[in-house]
Structure 1
Amino acid sequence: MSEPDQKRRLDKWLWFARCAKTRTLAQKLVNGGHVRINTERCVNAAFKIKIGDVLTIGLPRGIRILKVLDLGEKRQSATLAARLYEDLSPPPPPKSDGPRPLPQAVREKGAGRPTKRERRATDRLIKPD
């Protein structure tokens, strides 16, 4: 096959590029409507993609925008899989100064629930002789 005519199944490429852990999860990702090809929503895992297509993938950890650079022949390590695409995703937003955990509550001595020793002393005062 000549270079421009080469195509690969979408679910298989997502698995090769390590966007999904298994091919079945890649199919569910596509069939669930979480993948767009060149801004068009794709719900068919067997859709054929080609070099130059731009995929927008909604993953649980965020949205990724990937440009297909190579179709790949098999699933490889993450560093080799990164050569299959160019990541066009915007950088993650900086960590905001959002809600912080509240400081630990501090009680004054003697405030709150009495200790066992204090309760016994109170019982001695109240107890009729």
Structure 2
Amino acid sequence: MGHGPSLRLDKYLWFVRLAPNRSSAQALAERGIIRLNGRRVERSHTPVRIGDLITLPQGNVIRVIRVEKLPDRRGPASEAQLCYSAITPGSAPAPQAEGES
């Protein structure tokens, strides 16, 4: 389907600290509640590439992130955050219309 380097979805989620451990990342992927570029994913070995959009639940929030970099390891949080950018920030307030307070 795509070209270029890739990383398994479960490893990506674990490496960038969106899952506490790899087995949790595998379970999350296999539950079918993650979307990769709009398509439902049911396999943890689905390849993730730079530029892909991942939609996943985190608590009561649905997050959409863009893959910016494929990590080589599970490093510190500051390093992990450089591997993706948030498309829909989880805690951003809703914009107010003009005239509202």
Q: Does the TM-score normalized on the shorter chain lie above 0.5?
A: yes
> Does the Cα contact within 8 Å between 2:62 and 2:90 map onto a contact in 1?
no
**Residue identity in the other structure for 1:66:** I
Aligned to 1:57, the other structure's residue is in SS state strand
* Structure 1 residue aligned with 2:5: 6
Identity %: 34
Could you state the TM-score of these two structures normalised by the residue count of structure 1? 0.66
> Does the Cα contact within 8 Å between 1:7 and 1:71 map onto a contact in 2?
yes
Point out where structure 2 has 5 or more consecutive residues left out of the alignment. 94-101
Larger Rg over CA atoms: 1
Point out where structure 1 has 5 or more consecutive residues left out of the alignment. 95-129
In terms of fraction of residues, the more strand-rich structure is 2
Distance 1:5 1:33, change over 3 A: same
Distance 1:45 1:70, change over 3 A: same
TM superposition shift of 1:92: 3.1
Q: Alignment length, in residue pairs?
A: 92
Distance 1:51 1:11, change over 3 A: same
The C-alpha deviation readout for 1:6-46, integer Å capped at 9, x for no partner, is: 01000000001100000000001111112100110101000
Q: Whole-Å Cα distance in 1 between the matches of residues 46 and 90 of structure 2?
A: 29
* Structure 2 residue aligned with 1:46: 45
**Residue identity in the other structure for 2:26:** Q
> Does the Cα contact within 8 Å between 1:34 and 1:59 map onto a contact in 2?
no
Q: C-alpha root-mean-square deviation of aligned residues, in Å?
A: 1.7
In terms of fraction of residues, the more helix-rich structure is 1
Could you state the TM-score of these two structures normalised by the residue count of structure 2? 0.83
Distance 1:61 1:19, change over 3 A: farther
The C-alpha deviation readout for 1:29-79, integer Å capped at 9, x for no partner, is: 111112100110101000011100000011224211110000100001111
* Structure 2 residue aligned with 1:29: 28
